[in-house]
Amino acid sequence: MKYDVIIVGAGPGGIFAAYELMQLRPDMKVAVFEAGHALDKRHCPIDGEKIKSCIGCKSCSIMSGFGGAGAFSDGKYNITNDFGGTLYEYIGKKRALELMHYVDDINLRFGGEGTKLYSTAGTRFKTICIQNDLHLLDASVRHLGTDINYVVLENLYAYLKDKVEFFFDTPVLSVAIVDDGYELTCKHATYHCTDCIISVGRIGSKWMESVCKDLDISTESSRVDIGVRVELPAAVFAHLTDELYESKIVYRTEKYGDRVRTFCMNPKGAVVNENTNGIITVNGHSYEDPVKQTDNTNFALLVAKHFSEPFKDSNGYGESIARLSNMLGGGVIVQRFGDLIRGRRSTPNRIEEAFITPTLNATPGDLSLVLPKRILDGIIEMIYALDKVAPGTANEDTLLYGVEVKFYNMEVEVDENLESRHKGLYIIGDGSGITHSLSHASASGVHVARNITK
């Protein structure tokens, strides 16, 4: 079967590439191959009652399927070059921002109208943060919320399904270069295309690595972010989240000069498990619908670890730490800040007696047995620093879930068109290592579609 373009992966990168191709060249024959299920078939079996933790489904509905890793996410589209990826290094800051705004417009047209756009422009918190040795990064954030994000995806699928051929539950096993383009092999058939867009996200990182090896494409991997997810009463951060929704705050530790940052803030949200290649880590989300909101706010505190020669496997390092927490806690560990400072583990009793109700059923334990001292020291310092701008952060009962690991895909060598050294083979989204967010991944999809149709 021969297509003009085959897209591998139906996450935001793949979806927006397909959307833009159909806008510019509706005559093109385009297929999308997705290892996971169609959107309406995506269900994580964890219900908190019968099934309390990950049972390792063949295809993880949280990370895979139409919508990609973003389908059940909080749907925070950060319009900024300050974080979320380094797309601007390839296509320029102005173009990157333009594309993120373009994606935002599409999201609004496909069901996101009425959702709020928050902005750090002119906020007084910038000054308050600086006065306390904290640095607030600039961004506009469109918060769709998990529920509206899903509606937008439903509408995008309804729009695309008759224009583009979707193959769900069909992982692409290999990509080979042939005379007139590329040959993609799946379990039961092979498919041909002139141009191929690979957008396999974080879950496809190992597969991406093997494709790069087979096709002799250079890669580099040197970074992983490790930390905890903090959960506290929503009131503690309400003055920040009401105005900014998400604040990305960076702190440089006194002890080691390491940078610790807040990441993925979910006002009135819930802490959730995340499964990356069978390793259980922690994440968070929140809902736009007030009925589904909780009394807690959660966010990650992450420390970036950069490695230099001879060590190359930064993700392997992060995985080993996450495995250690899985070994000790059977999954994610939760500890009260007060217990951590006293050097004792949290127990089910201590968690129960706290003045906050955890939103994730995690195993009470001791994070100091899991996290390297340098990382843990940095996190503790940052909690005390945040306590100055949001009093109550360093409360005894503040919950710390661990570990949260932000894996970075190895960075794949591509040019300003996001094209690899093989003509017509594009690598985009989180799978390229260039983007780490919904907005950047989506923008990269639009960018390649425009280049292909040029």
Ligand X SMILES: Cc1cc2nc3c(=O)[nH]c(=O)nc-3n(C[C@H](O)[C@H](O)[C@H](O)COP(=O)(O)OP(=O)(O)OC[C@H]3O[C@@H](n4cnc5c(N)ncnc54)[C@H](O)[C@@H]3O)c2cc1C
- List residues binding ligand X (CB under 6 A): 8-14, 33-36, 64-65, 68-70, 73-76, 78, 84, 171-172, 199-204, 207, 264, 274, 283, 285, 429-431, 436-439, 441
Q: Shortest distance, CB of residue 91 to ligand X, whole angstroms?
A: 16
Q: Which is nearer to ligand X, 36 or 227 (CB)?
A: 36
Q: Shortest distance, CB of residue 202 to ligand X, whole angstroms?
A: 5
Q: Would you tell me the crossing angle of helices 12-24 and 93-107 to the nearest 10 degrees?
A: 90
Q: Shortest distance, CB of residue 361 to ligand X, whole angstroms?
A: 17
Q: Shortest distance, CB of residue 353 to ligand X, whole angstroms?
A: 29
Q: Shortest distance, CB of residue 418 to ligand X, whole angstroms?
A: 12
Q: Which is nearer to ligand X, 12 or 329 (CB)?
A: 12
Q: Shortest distance, CB of residue 122 to ligand X, whole angstroms?
A: 23
- Check: CB of residue 81 under 8 Å from CB of residue 97: yes
Q: Shortest distance, CB of residue 254 to ligand X, whole angstroms?
A: 30
Q: Shortest distance, CB of residue 61 to ligand X, whole angstroms?
A: 10
Q: Which is nearer to ligand X, 365 or 431 (CB)?
A: 431
| Residue 267 backbone zone (phi > 0: left; psi -120 to 50: alpha; other: beta) | beta
Q: Shortest distance, CB of residue 125 to ligand X, whole angstroms?
A: 20
Q: Which is nearer to ligand X, 31 or 376 (CB)?
A: 31
Q: Which is nearer to ligand X, 38 or 250 (CB)?
A: 38
Q: Shortest distance, CB of residue 448 to ligand X, whole angstroms?
A: 12
Q: Which is nearer to ligand X, 209 or 274 (CB)?
A: 274
- Check: CB of residue 393 under 8 Å from CB of residue 235: no
Q: Torsion angle, CA of 366/241/81/136, rounded to 10 degrees?
A: -80
Q: Shortest distance, CB of residue 270 to ligand X, whole angstroms?
A: 11
Q: Which is nearer to ligand X, 340 or 448 (CB)?
A: 448
Q: Which residue has the tokens 């769709």?
A: 144
Q: Which is nearer to ligand X, 139 or 379 (CB)?
A: 139
Cβ neighbours of residue 118 closer than 8 Å, sequence gap 6 or more? 140, 141, 143, 243, 244, 245, 246
Q: What is the CB-side half-sphere exposure of residue 196 using CA atoms within 13 A?
A: 26
Q: Which is nearer to ligand X, 171 or 366 (CB)?
A: 171
Q: How many CB atoms lie within 10 A of CB 50?
A: 7
Q: Which is nearer to ligand X, 318 or 429 (CB)?
A: 429
Distance in angstroms (rounded) separating the CA atoms of residues 84 and 435: 6
Distance in angstroms (rounded) separating the CA atoms of residues 357 and 252: 31
Specify the length of the chain in residues.
454
Q: Which is nearer to ligand X, 171 or 378 (CB)?
A: 171
